[in-house]
Structure 1
Amino acid sequence: MLDGNRDTNAPRHRAALISLGCAKNLVDSEVLAAQIRDLGYTLTESAEQAELIVVNTCGFLETAVQEAVDHLLAMAQFKSQGPCAHLVAVGCMVQRYGVKLPDLLPEVDLFLGTSQYHRFGEIFRQFLKTGSPRVFLERPTYLVDASTARLPSTPAHTAYVKIAEGCSNRCSFCVIPKLRGPYRSRTVEDVAREARALADQGVVEVNLIAQDTTAFGSDRGDTGALVRLLEALEEVDGIRWVRLLYAYPHRVHEDLLKTMAASHKVVAYLDIPFQHAVPRILQAMHRVDMERRPEQILELIRRHLPRAALRTSLMVGFPGETERDFRALCDFVQHMELDHVGVFAFSPEKGCRAAGYPDQVPEPVKEERKETLLAIQQEVSRRKLAALVGQRWPVLVEGEHPETELLAVGRLPTQAPEVDGQVIITEGNAQVGQIVPAVITRTHDYDLEARLES
């Protein structure tokens, strides 16, 4: 839940904004938050005290849709039992189910799809006057830029920067193109302008995000745009770390890796959703690069970035996946020794081609395979982290440990916010937002312990 800055002159009307789903959705929520503030509301974390409640939904999977519905129904209780006068649903779930929602969720006053969240202030004002229409849907074409007002929800030293919107990859298991529209990217100059503004506000870490960051500029035929963007961010005073998230495998080439290797700011970290390791399954997934196997891509990365941290997401139970295919996937995880692995069971989402494929894998088999793969990765993670003991690494200090004021927490450049574990700081002092040298003293399954050297 987002919480805006408060002051003694703040208006008495309160609003709560709940952001579900991925970091890309969080940026949308920050745009929503700025509009809510401009409507005259103070943002609060206490939904039970809010007169306006906005839920920015995820709709990628049915489980995410159910989570969104559960949140909306929980918030609806405050309309009958509390001060809440208006409940609004925004985002991917609305884009996916559209005009069906008013009958299914009569408790919700207003529905805005992914094409309309940037117009929330205007639409909500009009709704207060007329009470209709209740659903706002169009083909998504909007793209944030450096001039878009955002109310930050992340700690002051770190920020997500959305460099593109939508997706044109057309993977057979995915409905994102229907929810977010075709791929469209910002210009190098516009992203750099936003990074400079963030640096002026004290941000030291920028995480570049999109459905596919490595496609940056491709919608304009500008295949070298991402390299130029990283070079431009190298020149932004104040930014210390730049991290590249959501890199599509077939677009990870030598020019990008050489740029990363030469950079003093772009951290040696790549988040590459391979999805699988078996060529036949990848072809059925419509993952377009069949010339290079995942192993070859990893070899290329490690040749240029030998200390790179590598994150991937893998899918088990895709239609037609045999026990032999799954064993090959397990071997891939065991032998490639990736740093961070997310494992997901295939979900036959309505609207994705793979939902109609033959040879669907039974749900119990999917779950068993998921747990097996996670257990293998846990051993890999434990072994890789143990090798760091005694090494000296820079740590971005994040703040006090949530469970005790006697400890602090931070992250290595190899750890992205929220998803990759953290460093528990047992000795030393530093200001929040500082990047300081530290020695790794102990490791756990996913977290580390360290003492600061400053």
Structure 2
Amino acid sequence: MPKRSSIQNILEMAEYKKEGRLKALIVTGCLAQRYRQEILDEIPEVDAVLGTTAYDKILDAIDEALKGHHTLTLADTDLLPEVETKRLVTTGGHFAYLKIAEGCDKHCTYCIIPKIRGNFRSVPMEQLLSEAEYLAEQGVKELILVAQETTLYGKDLYGEKSLHKLLRELCKISGIRWIRILYCYPEEIYDELIQTIKEEPKICHYLDLPIQHANDEILKRMGRRTTKQELIDIISKLRREIPDIALRTTLITGFPGETKEQHEELMEFVDEMEFDRLGVFTYSPEEDTAAARMEGQIEEEVKEERQAELMELQQEIAFDTAENMVGKEVLVMIEGKVADENAYVGRTYRDAPNVDGLIFVNTEEELMSGDFAKVKVSGAVDYDLIGGLI
């Protein structure tokens, strides 16, 4: 969440406290870690500021706040949060995010995460398996693996990248039907991981592979560790090994120094690669990063124009992809019922929640959120599909 929006939310909650609509105001996360003292000094309604790995201190902070005491707890960015209480699933019950690591070692020039959250630290496998088993017992059907960088999982703990081993263990958990992987660094994709995705039926043939750009000079200025050709090779290998894989990526447009020609090169790359899902962000200078100090900052109007051009191109690709799905049979996870209609909304393996497309399923049968249904696709509307039960 952008800093301005976060501050606005805190100020709004502070007004609620003034009005007596809440008893304690606790601020936690990246903003709290970075601007902890400023928050306490400038917003007196805040009772506690907790850093990024201090979530286990929230209950203590609430107790102290109700006694009228202020709390400032900084996060040790070499540690993982120690939370022993059972998770409350807030995503609707049928899917849940499983955070497998904290921090990042990449140090991209536009990103502040390593300074705030520290170096990459994997969560021990046994802890993740215990959490996943608990989630399955609560009715979760889909696990979505997240971290700042998922593909590096285990290297710090076990001496080698071990995401494939974690995946195989997660696949053994009864009740879990889908496992989805987000935030994969392209250069960290490895053969054992690809083979595991191919062999394990519970693992969605879907990867979120943020590339950010495709021009070699811009990639270097960003501190990224791949070249354009290496990206092409990685994407080609994934599609060769897993022909039905859906690839999502994200791009940054308007990075300092980006020329019109470099933008056009990125447009050509997107056109050639035909990503199944794509998001585009305009570059936003982050305080205390190398990119924010670079010359050649791009005007906001130009950034937005380039973003619009990329999204217009991707929209054409996405429409073609959706049209190509018509007539196919797909497995759908039901998300919920469409109000006042004999229809339900759901997702295929090609769609992560909240960021990708949906499929509308016409049926008079009664379905529940979290049910899986076989559906024949009969039409496409923009990014979404329409179908009926088989």
**TM-score bucket (shorter structure):** over 0.9
Give the aligned residue type for 1:90: T
Query: Which residue matches 1:383?
Result: 320
Query: Which residue matches 1:120?
Result: 58
Alpha-carbon distance change, 417 to 215 in structure 1, aligned in 2, over 3 angstroms: same
**1:115 CA displacement:** 2.8
Among 356, 359, 380, the residue aligned to 1:420: 356
Alpha-carbon distance change, 290 to 330 in structure 1, aligned in 2, over 3 angstroms: closer
Query: Which residue matches 1:38?
Result: none
Give the aligned residue type for 2:294: Y
Give the aligned residue type for 1:103: D
Question: 2:197, 2:205 within 8 Å by CA — same for their partners in 1?
Answer: yes
Among 5, 15, 29, the residue aligned to 1:77: 15
Distance 2:83 2:172 in 1: 17
| Residues 339-358 of structure 1 mapped to structure 2, 5 A cutoff | 339-358=276-295
- Answering whether residue 36 of structure 2 is matched by residue 91 of structure 1, we say no
**1:192 CA displacement:** 2.0
Q: Deviations over 1:139-167 (max 9, x none)?
A: 32442578443211012211111111111
Query: Which residue matches 1:109?
Result: 47
Among 332, 335, 346, the residue aligned to 1:410: 346
Among 93, 114, 117, the residue aligned to 1:180: 117
Question: 2:333, 2:371 within 8 Å by CA — same for their partners in 1?
Answer: yes
- Answering whether residue 280 of structure 2 is matched by residue 280 of structure 1, we say no
Q: Deviations over 1:350-397 (max 9, x none)?
A: 111111112222221111101111111111101111100010000001
Query: Which residue matches 1:202?
Result: 139
Give the aligned residue type for 2:350: T
**1:279 CA displacement:** 1.3
Distance 1:379 1:290 in 2: 26
Give the aligned residue type for 1:102: L
| Residues 57-76 of structure 1 mapped to structure 2, 5 A cutoff | 58=1, 64-76=2-14
Give the aligned residue type for 1:213: T
Distance 2:159 2:83 in 1: 20
| Residues 294-309 of structure 1 mapped to structure 2, 5 A cutoff | 294-309=231-246
Question: 1:146, 1:194 within 8 Å by CA — same for their partners in 2?
Answer: no
Alpha-carbon distance change, 291 to 146 in structure 1, aligned in 2, over 3 angstroms: farther
Query: Which residue matches 2:67?
Result: 129
In the superposition, the TM-score normalised over structure 1's length comes to 0.82
Question: 1:188, 1:225 within 8 Å by CA — same for their partners in 2?
Answer: no
Distance 2:60 2:24 in 1: 15
Moved more, 212-221 or 426-435: 426-435
Percent identical among aligned pairs is: 38
Question: 1:90, 1:113 within 8 Å by CA — same for their partners in 2?
Answer: yes
Query: Which residue matches 1:27?
Result: none
Distance 2:27 2:129 in 1: 32
Alpha-carbon distance change, 252 to 292 in structure 1, aligned in 2, over 3 angstroms: farther
Alpha-carbon distance change, 175 to 427 in structure 1, aligned in 2, over 3 angstroms: same
In the superposition, the TM-score normalised over structure 2's length comes to 0.95
Give the aligned residue type for 1:423: I
Question: 2:181, 2:207 within 8 Å by CA — same for their partners in 1?
Answer: yes
Query: Which residue matches 1:333?
Result: 270
**What RMSD over aligned residues (CA atoms) do the two structures have, in Å?**
1.8
**1:76 CA displacement:** 2.5
- Answering whether residue 105 of structure 2 is matched by residue 168 of structure 1, we say yes
Contiguous gaps of at least 5 residues in structure 2: none
Alpha-carbon distance change, 291 to 76 in structure 1, aligned in 2, over 3 angstroms: closer
Give the aligned residue type for 2:56: H
Give the aligned residue type for 1:418: N
**1:248 CA displacement:** 0.6
Question: 1:339, 1:384 within 8 Å by CA — same for their partners in 2?
Answer: yes
